[in-house]
Amino acid sequence: MNSLKQLSLLLTGLLVGALFGKNTIIFIFPVFILLMMTWDEAKYQKFIQKEETSEDHHMMSHS
């Protein structure tokens, strides 16, 4: 659901860029990078959470 929203934002950005010319790409590009970074970060955060919970499990079984 979240990635779909970002995809539509990107498409809107590309449309705006096509309408207003090359200068707009200067503004769209950082936004695109920001979208990619936040998307990756969300995935990374989930992965980190998984790792932390499994490690907590490990600690509990030891003590």
- The whole-number pLDDT of residue 60 equals 60
- The whole-number pLDDT of residue 59 equals 59
Block residue for tokens 């992965």:
47
List the pLDDT tens digit at each of the 63 positions of the chain.
578 888 888 788 777 777 777 666 677 777 777 777 777 767 777 777 777 766 665 556 665
